Amino acid sequence: MFKKAFFHSLIAGILASVAGLIYNRIYFFATEADFSRVLNTGSIIGLNIMVCLVAGMLYWVLVKSLKKKGEVVFSFLFSIISFACVMIPILISLPLKVQSPELFPGLAVPMVFFPAMAWYTVKPLFTLSTTLIT
């Protein structure tokens, strides 16, 4: 069970990182606002993988301790925490050298949801009766 949760969270983290990097490039070309001092490639990859790995550990603990209700509790918590984390990019104060700080929430707020979206996207790969990763 732990192996399955670990690979699920790792694959979700990689998928969320790829989505974050693609969105970062699209946002840069659309707005020409460079936030690489605040949110660079390393931080996008690191945060997405870290969030998904922590989510994977939480998932494993909840499913292990609450059995059938663990998955429902995890889904509820992951969604609520994702919505609560929207406040982080809104409340962050950027360095004075950053141009157009008002555009930063437009970049970072959607990225908050990438780990949860990636988690739920790859979830069917790990819940099939004949799972792909055992």
Per-position DSSP letters for 20-69, written without gaps between them? HHHHHHHHHHHH----TTTS-HHHHHHHHHHHHHHHHHHHHHHHHHHTHH
Of the two residues 133 and 12, the one the predictor is more confident about is: 12
Could you report the per-residue pLDDT of 103-128, keeping only the tens digit for each? Answer: 889 999 999 999 999 999 999 888 76
Nearest Cα to 73, choosing from 93, 99, 53, 55? 55
Distance CA 64, CA 21 (A): 33
Reduced to 3 states (helix: H, G, I; strand: E, B; else coil), residue 98 is coil
Could you report the per-residue pLDDT of 1-24, keeping only the tens digit for each? Answer: 788 889 999 999 999 999 999 999
**Tokens for 133?**
């990763």
Distance CA 96, CA 25 (A): 22
Distance CA 72, CA 61 (A): 13
The pTM (predicted TM-score) of the whole model is 0.85
Nearest Cα to 17, choosing from 126, 115, 109, 106? 115
